[in-house]
Amino acid sequence: MHYRFVVLAGCSLVMSLSMWGWFMASLYLGVDFPWYGITFMQMFSVFGYAYYAATKNYIVLRRVQLIFILISPLVAQLSLDSGQVSAIILWGFLTPVAVSMVAAREERHTHYWLISFLGILGLAYLLQPLLGYQTAAGTEILIKYMLPANLAIFAVLLTLGLSYSLRHRQEINQIRKHQYFNLQHEHTQLNTVSSRRAELLKSVLPERIAARLMEGHNMIADGHSDVTVIFVDIVGFTKLADSMSPKQIVRLLNQVFSGFDEIAERHGLEKIKTIGDAFLAVGGLSNNDQSDYVEESLRAAQDFQSYIREQTQGMFHNSGLDIHTGIATGPIAAGVIGKLRLSYDIWGNTVNLASRLSDHAVAGQILVDQTTYKRTAKKFSYVQEADLVLKGEMYVPVYRLKTSSDSLYPADQDKVIQMHA
């Protein structure tokens, strides 16, 4: 903005000095040169600057000054009343030059201003013969000897103006180049931050849920009519942790649950979260149209058991850790909660039942509800346990999946285990 104002003000000043220079030269040579024409044009220019000072409207200022620069040479030429077109008309060419230099909105209209200048030039030739002809010697001198002076001064000022404009544009190009590289750097940083955010979301949330959050979903709440919930808890870990340092606890849980993560992914389960020393996963969240997620959940439970025994064998008093597992199949609600720390969680009676089955199971046992049993009875061997009584005296049939350690548990338990929700 500063550059455009300087160029426009410079062209206006040059034009004003040129007009008043002609007026002073005519007085010196005794040529009749009316002052009111150029005075009117000068007042027109001053009005533009006064309006700009009051409103800061650069568009009006620019147009007023361009009209002033374009018309003033014609007014001065006609005031001379010489019957000849002098070099003063050349100053009107500053109009298209100024437009091309200020790089304003009218820059794309430079050719219109050039055509306007050519029109003014033609008008000067047409009007001069109609206004008479002064024979005063001063007029001839003014026209004859001011021609080279006008050409020389105009050429010098035009060269200086273009040089100034070129230098300014080079500076602008450097600034734009610097801004471009800054924007590229910021864009790269934003992409990096966005990638890290995406990776972080995918590490704490299911991938499809993370994708929905990144797409702009403000609230995620889904209902699933049929899934298999698997709840795994490490036997006796709370008591064991009392004899371990914090680093040992974290290292052990990280080793166990990292393995569980891989097993869950291999069997198509969706890990929901860890709760202390418990592990919660769901089968069928993303593939409800398939019927094998119940079977895969059972196989994952068996792999969880084998994995933790193998990884912790002999670590604690010549024995390893064990787990007890509860599995239930049915409807759940799922969604993301929280703002500062997002959490994907599941709710419903199916989740509560899996948790209570896990609490009821002893070390090495995998207990399932009746729905899971009915849908997998042809592929897996079960032993029916005593019914689980929940709050409200509701009896829930319980089945124990037979495993390699099945001989440790009697198959004819007839007691009723009461469990309060």
Q: What is the CATH number of the domain that holds 371?
A: 3.30.70.1230
Mapped onto helix, strand or coil, the DSSP state of residue 409 is coil
Please say which residue of 179, 197, 230 terminates a domain: 179
User: Given a cut of 50, is residue 95 above it in pLDDT?
Assistant: yes
User: Given a cut of 70, is residue 128 above it in pLDDT?
Assistant: no
Domain presence at residue 198 = no
Mapped onto helix, strand or coil, the DSSP state of residue 404 is coil
User: Given a cut of 90, is residue 300 above it in pLDDT?
Assistant: yes
Our count of domains for the chain comes to: 2
Domain presence at residue 201 = no
223 and 372: one domain?
yes
Dihedral angle of Cα 283, 286, 287, 293, to the nearest 10 degrees = -10
Pairing label, strands 382-390, 417-418: parallel
Domain presence at residue 130 = yes
158 and 225: one domain?
no
Q: pLDDT tens across 188-213, in order? A: 777 676 676 666 666 667 667 777 77
Please say which residue of 179, 208, 240 terminates a domain: 179
User: Given a cut of 90, is residue 4 above it in pLDDT?
Assistant: no
Domain presence at residue 195 = no
pLDDT of the residue at 25: 67
User: Given a cut of 90, is residue 372 above it in pLDDT?
Assistant: yes
Most confident among 13-27, 52-66, 115-129, 298-312 (mean pLDDT): 298-312
pTM score over 0.85 = no
Please say which residue of 179, 199, 228 terminates a domain: 179
**31 is in which domain, residue-wise?**
2-179
Distance of CA 267 to the CA centre of its chain: 36
160 and 68: one domain?
yes
Burial class (CB in 10 A: 0-12, 13-18, 19+), 244: middle
User: Given a cut of 50, is residue 421 above it in pLDDT?
Assistant: no
